[in-house]
Amino acid sequence: MRVVMCALFLLLLFDGLLAPPVARADIYRYVDKSGVVHFTNTPTTSKFVLYRRDSSSSGNSGLGDVIRRYASINRIEEALVRAVIKAESDFNPRARSSKGALGMMQLIPATARDLKVNDPFDPEQNIRGGSRYLRLMLDQFDNNLELALAAYNAGPNAVIRHGGIPPYPETIQYVGRVKNFLKYYRKNQDALL
């Protein structure tokens, strides 16, 4: 009888009936002062930023799927959307700049309203709006990547007024950073770091 009970227990265990349910959650990360990368699904400080969204949490698809969808809708290379997100917020959905830009793709509130982004801290809405804005900049500047990126950072009027990339150190550095990240994401297509 004891052998039968043990066998039944093992059968149920391996069949998954006694196994604990699988927990799913978003994954957050931060890099400490020593360069050590920490991951968690329960961030304890604001140092943690979203690394990977769980596709089962809150009905949203994974972050990679969101990027892929809006890149496709807006006819933009996925790697470019990832590069802009990396440069703008390092994939932090709660990012807020000193100039008031919000979320992963750092939308200014007026731009977010124009793009019908109600919650710029919602990654899907932010990526939808940011990808659309990036497409508008590419269209306005005849698909010239450098000018479109400069316009994304400094505004299209600054690019027009200066007849090219504005001579702002921040904008010049921004264009270079995004292009470097673009090279990386072209080689590492699904990376979010």
List residues with catalytic annotation: 88
Asked if residues 103 and 95 have their Cβ atoms less than 8 Å apart, the reply is yes
Asked if residues 40 and 48 have their Cβ atoms less than 8 Å apart, the reply is yes
Q: How far apart are CA 136 and CA 72, in angstroms?
A: 14
Please name the residues in contact with 58: beta carbons below 8 A apart, sequence gap of 6 or more: none
CA-CA-CA-CA torsion sign (172, 180, 100, 70) = positive
Helix (H, G, I), strand (E, B) or coil at 18: coil
